[in-house]
Amino acid sequence: MADTTHGALAPTYLPLPITIARAQGTHVWDTDGNEFLDFLSGYSALNFGHLHPGLVAAALTQLRQVTLTSRAFDHDRLEEFAQRLVEVVGPLTTGGEDSLVVPMNTGAEAVETAIKAVRKWGYDVRGVPEDQATVIVAGGNFHGRTTTLVGLSDNPTARAGFGPFAPGFRQVPFGDLDAVADAVDDTTVAVLMEPVQGEAGVLVPPDEFWPGLRELTTTQDIALVADEVQSGLGRTGTTLACELWDVRPDLVCLGKALGGGIVPVSAVVGRPEILGVLTPGTHGSTFGGNPLACAVAVAALDLLATGQYQARAAESGKVLTERLDVLVAQGLLAEARTVGLWAGIDLAPELGTGRELCEALLERGVLATDTRAETIRLSPPLSIVQPELEMALDILEESLVALRD
């Protein structure tokens, strides 16, 4: 019997009780016309807000030209997309202005692409014996839902029942540089980590971690791969989270906000020696680099290139941090971790679960989601204005008080 709460949908999600009909900027309306502030932003895919006019215009223009060619043929937006990505993100990687780009569709595909590239680079360039390559990953990671990527996870719900998993990965505690150094051997081709772990609850590693990783991997000729699918493109107040520590990774995985919440588009950007191993026939995707995705991504990169969104994230982030610190001081939150306009907040244990808090927020007009039992993530569009931010934080306080009383 099908689960009737999901209708014809397989029960992969347990959505909050709202059916969204319309959205604009930071606002969302349900089918009854009730208004909400979006504090999830499609897990940071909506950094520029819902239906940003520039992004919508770019999509509409492209919809009248050509939407799909497949990579069997070039189209007139493809090189522009790659060039723009190299201009905006290339200099933040060791590839610099010589960076290469592999266009894909989803975050998971971008990470899979990076894994394929570093393995082949390991065999072709580094001389690692065939089928021996290992990639070091972090505990608590989230890189996507493919069988390889859930194999990297230590989340029992994500993994259980889906094995056997791909070999060739070694997990170390996130933020522990000594553990990474101990895990390195002759077969190590890459370290792959999120600069800030999003799904784990916005976990920021110690300040010496990423610079230490950079030094270690450079000395040992190991590729440093940053999964910036969630942390990248403005969320942390910088274009990439790695900039927080002045670290340039060799490869960066991007997704989510690259498509402005309009189209699925992802990419791997970085060192040409590594991405250059993906020669014809070794990798691809029917929709990867399609004209519609490229057109919207170019417009999204244009918005980022102004620096305005990063600046606003940094500015609003200060308000977010101050207000959350007050909630911690009041004992309503056990902990609040913020970076840029991005926060993971842990409820004081006696208040209830993250899910209960999300339901209380929903009743009062704010959309957010729990990421662990006691943790919810706050990631509004970077375009949010201060009165909206203050209003949502008032609602957060009210909801926490309601759970306590």
Catalytic annotation, pick one of 48, 142, 209, 287: 142
- Cβ nearer to ligand PMP, comparing 253 with 395: 253
For residues 22-41, which are near ligand PMP according to CB under 6 A?
Answer: none
- Cβ nearer to ligand PMP, comparing 379 with 399: 379
Residue 199 in contact with ligand PMP, rule: CB under 6 A: yes
Q: Quick one: which of 36, 39, 43, 209 contacts ligand PMP (CB under 6 A)?
A: 43
- Cβ nearer to ligand PMP, comparing 140 with 291: 140
256 is annotated as an active-site residue: yes
Residue 354 in contact with ligand PMP, rule: CB under 6 A: no
For residue 279, what are the contacts with CB-CB under 8 A and spacing of at least 6? none
Residues near ligand PMP (CB under 6 A), total:
15
| Residue nearest to ligand PMP as judged by C-beta position | 107
| Residue 385 to residue 387: CA distance in whole angstroms | 6
Residue 108 in contact with ligand PMP, rule: CB under 6 A: yes
Minimum CB separation of residue 79 from ligand PMP in Å reads 24
CA distances from 264 to 109, 131, 267, 348 (A): 11, 32, 11, 36
Catalytic annotation, pick one of 39, 81, 174, 256: 256
Q: Quick one: which of 86, 111, 336, 351 contacts ligand PMP (CB under 6 A)?
A: 111
Contact criterion met (CB below 8 Å) for 138 and 197: yes
Scanning the structure block, which residue is given the tokens 């792959």?
A: 192
Residue 138 in contact with ligand PMP, rule: CB under 6 A: no
Q: Which two three-digit tokens encode residue 338?
A: 């913020």
β-pairing verdict for 35-38 and 266-270: unpaired
Q: Which two three-digit tokens encode residue 266?
A: 């992802």
Residue 106 in contact with ligand PMP, rule: CB under 6 A: yes
Mark 76-113 as b/e (b = at least 16 C-beta within 10 Å).
ebbeebbebbbebbbebbbbeeebbbbbbbbbbbbbbb
| Residue 121 to residue 271: CA distance in whole angstroms | 11
Contact criterion met (CB below 8 Å) for 266 and 109: yes
* Maximum separation of any 2 CA atoms in the chain, in Å: 63
Bridge partners for 24 per DSSP: 27
> Count of residues for the chain?
405
Catalytic annotation, pick one of 38, 227, 250, 346: 227
Minimum CB separation of residue 253 from ligand PMP in Å reads 7
- Cβ nearer to ligand PMP, comparing 26 with 141: 141
- Cβ nearer to ligand PMP, comparing 237 with 388: 237
- Cβ nearer to ligand PMP, comparing 42 with 272: 42
- The helix/strand count (H/E) of the chain reads as 13, 15
Q: Quick one: which of 90, 107, 140, 237 contacts ligand PMP (CB under 6 A)?
A: 107
Q: Quick one: which of 25, 144, 237, 261 contacts ligand PMP (CB under 6 A)?
A: 144
124 is annotated as an active-site residue: no
Question: What are the DSSP calls for 252-272, one per residue?
Answer: EEE-GGGGTTTS--EEEEE-H
Minimum CB separation of residue 109 from ligand PMP in Å reads 7
Minimum CB separation of residue 130 from ligand PMP in Å reads 28
Sheet holding 35-38, edge to edge: 20-24, 27-30, 35-38, 366-367
Q: Quick one: which of 151, 168, 198, 259 contacts ligand PMP (CB under 6 A)?
A: 198
Minimum CB separation of residue 137 from ligand PMP in Å reads 12
| Residue 307 to residue 250: CA distance in whole angstroms | 23
Rg, C-alpha atoms of the chain: 21
- Cβ nearer to ligand PMP, comparing 323 with 377: 377
- Cβ nearer to ligand PMP, comparing 358 with 393: 358
Minimum CB separation of residue 252 from ligand PMP in Å reads 11
For residues 222-261, which are near ligand PMP according to CB under 6 A?
Answer: 227, 229-230, 255
Nearest partner of 375 among 232, 202, 193, 150, judged by Cα: 202
Nearest partner of 46 among 78, 64, 24, 22, judged by Cα: 24
DSSP code of 141? -
120 is annotated as an active-site residue: no
| Residue 270 to residue 344: CA distance in whole angstroms | 29
Q: Quick one: which of 143, 271, 312, 323 contacts ligand PMP (CB under 6 A)?
A: 143
Q: Which parts of this chain interact with ligand PMP (CB under 6 A)?
A: 43, 106-108, 111, 142-144, 194, 198-199, 227, 229-230, 255
Active-site residues: which are they?
Answer: 142, 227, 256
